[in-house]
Amino acid sequence: MKYKNLGRSGLSVSRLCLGTMNFGPETDEVTSGAIMDSALENGVNFFDTANRYGGIGHWGRTEEIVGRWFQKGGGRREKVVLATKLYGEMDAWPNNSGVSALNIRRACDASLKRMQTDYIDLYQMHHIDRKTPWDEVWLAMEVLVAQGKILYVGSSNFGGWHLAQAQAAAAPRHFTGLVSEQSIYNLVVRDIEREVIPAAQHYGIGILPWSPLNGGLLGGVLKKERNGSRRLEGRSKEALESIRPRIEDYENFCEKIGKEPGDVALAWLLAQPAVTAPIVGPRTQEQFDAALRALELELTQDHLETLDKIFPRFKVSPEDYAW
């Protein structure tokens, strides 16, 4: 396993991050535990979850599954760099969503209880909260750091200017601010290349891509469609039809170099300088094992240039498109 510092921090994390969103809704607890055990056996020390994971009506269930797995001992908690998130509404009562100082305190304590641990390594804001001033956010986070309940702070789904706002507010407080940003990023969805990635690199914020296979569209969907192992419906089918020629070119390229499409998609992300660790969210052990293969695949410069032709890169704002 290869490791990389999370942003400008001294925290060393594996190049793959185990996402747990399917634990509970899609994957039973026994299988979830086996996947987490396999992750540690293969050197994956970075786990990501959120207080809202668990399925409708079962918010928090995923954190509880992680917590019961920690309680099995064997150094499980000590070996894991644990990341979770807050923002989403946990119930309809006021102040139980967003990142107000009150909700930051309550949500953190609730996550600690569910995961049966006394600290969170990376506490992430799941979305920007336009109603809460940054001084309030950082005051609450500083208290949690001082109490030893969290070590680092990250963001998710932020814009480039949100990263700049956050760091500008943290600097005069002599607070670290953000060390990571979790965004949708893959060969198909490359929007963050415009401003989020340049801002993240400027401020030393590591990028944690979610949906690295874009909902499975980069995982050999056409081949699976032909052999009858996968049938797309609704929005997934519409998404495929809108880019079918590019997906065809992509799968033909993967076949030409003798690699699985899902492996190539992950390897491409691992080759991006701003990326710390793609987040893989397996439903099965087989899916997790497949993700590990990508770590052994190194794409050549010619491969990367071909992929950029199939899925064009965004130009950086505003210099490129302005001139």
3-class secondary structure per residue, 32-76? HHHHHHHHHHCCCCEEECCCCCCCCCCCCHHHHHHHHHHCCCCCH
Residue-wise pLDDT for 23-33, tens only, equals 999 999 999 99
How would you class 28 by CB atoms within 10 Å of its CB: exposed for 0-12, middle for 13-18, buried for 19 or more? exposed
How far from 87 is each of 106, 108, 210, CA to CA, in Å? 11, 11, 17
- Stated pTM of the model: 0.95
Output the tens digit of pLDDT for each of the chain's 323 residues. 999 999 999 999 999 999 999 999 999 999 999 999 999 999 999 999 999 999 999 999 999 999 999 999 999 999 999 999 999 999 989 999 999 999 999 999 999 999 999 999 999 999 999 999 999 999 999 999 999 999 999 999 999 999 999 999 999 999 999 999 999 999 999 999 999 999 999 999 999 999 999 999 999 999 888 887 777 767 778 888 899 999 999 999 999 999 999 999 999 999 999 999 999 999 999 999 999 999 999 999 999 999 999 999 998 887 887 77
User: Do residues 221 and 232 lie in contact, with contact meaning Cβ atoms separated by under 8 Å?
Assistant: yes
User: Looking at the annotation, which residues are catalytic?
Assistant: 53
Domain ranges of the chain: 3-215+261-307
Fold of 3-215+261-307: TIM Barrel (3.20.20)
> Which position has the token pair 């601010």?
177
> Which position has the token pair 């052990």?
285
